[in-house]
Amino acid sequence: MSAVPRVAERGPNAPRWAETPRAAYVHVPFCARRCGYCDFTVVAGQDHLIAEYLRALRRELRALDQQRTVDTLYVGGGTPTQLNASQLQQLMHLLHTWLPLAPGGEFTVEANPQGLDHSRLDVLLQSGVNRISLGVQSFVNRELAWLERDHTIEDLDAVIPMVRRMFDSVSLDLMFGVGGQSLTDWTHSLQSALRSEVDHVSTYGLTIEKGTNFWSRQRRGDLQVASDELQRAMYAAAMDRLPAGGLTQYEISSFARPQHTSRHNQVYWSGDSYWGFGPGAARYVAGWRETNHRSTSTWIKRITNGESAVADRECLSIADRARERLVLGLRTCRGVCSREFERETGCVLTDLAGKEIEQHVGQGWLERCGSRIRLTRAGRFVADTVIRDML
């Protein structure tokens, strides 16, 4: 079965990456269908594998040897709510058994608006889930059809209020750069999200990944997406309109009301350790990064046979850990504090990337705020370039 690294409890001078993880991610790969842009670890139309998946997940979790209490637990996909209420109950029982949530912890489950009924939501609520992330993508039916989503805005009108009544925190994903999408359309989606009074919004520019259906269509010339100039205007609109509506930007793609930032994602951005379970899941434990096989059937087969489900494994060097901490920290609006960085990584920030920092400060893409370095507003538009230069 999957080789889960054993870690010692944190000593008084242990770096944060060496801590026993206090966060866990569990991947549920099932979907009703695969959207054309999706390159995640997903199996569509294969719900007959769910029972085998749950048995394999139980075996993988057993490799922990003991309960691991976590402060944040995130169940993503795929579509976790593709599981029916009974299957969700089994999943929740496994997580409570092996990954109990600490008092005051954050427990997030991703959900698809289509098919999200009271029976599923009741299971999640009774299991202590306190945060729901809805894959909305758009409030324009034409765009939802273009993205090959299986819900409509009529579904959203019914689902979002129901979820808001039941759970402490609700997040929506929105996508810009969609084919045929105008700035007016995108503004409508932003305003619709604000009117829904959700607590968190994540905005993503559409990217066409190699191997997806959209990639093939684009290569044939029958898929048109928004221009770079229009996507820039859309991102600017998000940075203006969402904060004006009470959702403060705290990361490149993330906006939240006070006390509703994603605590789980902050674990990643801080370079802290985390567990990961399920096909395609990644974990970072005691300086080792592992990624499970992306094939759900291979993952199930290997674990069932008592073999390791790990596809890739590497031990990051001190310098690699420090660079990763830098680029992840720069995703946040707070940026990176040089004093904290040195204490947590053992590396001096200017020694590691001083030249690159000076270059981007000169270009107006980075700025210094005391001992902290962070992206400027202009730098957020070219964050990928800045981050690539730091690696």
Q: What is the pLDDT of residue 1?
A: 53
Residues 222 and 139 occupy one common structural domain = yes
Residues 264 and 356 occupy one common structural domain = no
Last-in-domain residue among 269, 303, 321: 269
Residue 45, C-beta contacts closer than 8 angstroms, at least 6 positions apart? 32, 33
Residues 347 and 223 occupy one common structural domain = no
Residues 88 and 217 occupy one common structural domain = yes
The answer on pLDDT for 8 being more than 90 is no
CA dihedral (211, 44, 293, 263) positive or negative? positive
The burial of 60, by beta-carbon neighbours within 10 Å (0-12 exposed, 13-18 middle, 19 or more buried), is given as buried
Comparing 117-121, 316-320, 370-374, which segment has the lowest mean pLDDT?
316-320
Residues 81 and 224 occupy one common structural domain = yes
Last-in-domain residue among 269, 304, 327: 269
Contact (Cβ atoms closer than 8 angstroms) between residue 148 and residue 178: no
Residues 357 and 241 occupy one common structural domain = no
Residues 214 and 360 occupy one common structural domain = no
Total domain count for the chain?
Answer: 2
Residues 130 and 254 occupy one common structural domain = yes
- Domain membership of residue 311 (yes or no) is no
Q: Which of 83, 153, 158, 157 is nearest to 124 (CA)?
A: 83
In one-letter notation, the amino acid at residue 264 is: H
Q: What is the pLDDT of residues 240-298, one digit of tens each?
A: 999 999 999 999 999 999 999 999 999 999 999 999 999 999 999 988 999 999 999 99
- Domain membership of residue 331 (yes or no) is no
- Domain membership of residue 6 (yes or no) is no
- Domain membership of residue 89 (yes or no) is yes
Last-in-domain residue among 248, 269, 290: 269
Contact (Cβ atoms closer than 8 angstroms) between residue 322 and residue 342: no
What is the residue range of 62's domain? Answer: 16-269
Q: What is the pLDDT of residue 390?
A: 87
Q: What is the pLDDT of residue 20?
A: 87
- Domain membership of residue 345 (yes or no) is yes
Residues 251 and 388 occupy one common structural domain = no
Q: What is the pLDDT of residue 222?
A: 86
Residue 3, C-beta contacts closer than 8 angstroms, at least 6 positions apart? 63, 290, 308, 310, 313
Residues 89 and 199 occupy one common structural domain = yes
| pTM to 2 decimal places | 0.93
Residue 292, C-beta contacts closer than 8 angstroms, at least 6 positions apart? 2, 27, 276, 277, 278, 279, 280, 281, 282, 299, 309, 310, 311
Residue 230: CATH number of its domain: 3.80.30.20
The answer on pLDDT for 106 being more than 90 is yes
Residues 251 and 158 occupy one common structural domain = yes
- Domain membership of residue 100 (yes or no) is yes
Residues 149 and 229 occupy one common structural domain = yes
Q: Residue 110 belongs to what H/E stretch?
A: strand 101-111
- Domain membership of residue 68 (yes or no) is yes
- Domain membership of residue 51 (yes or no) is yes
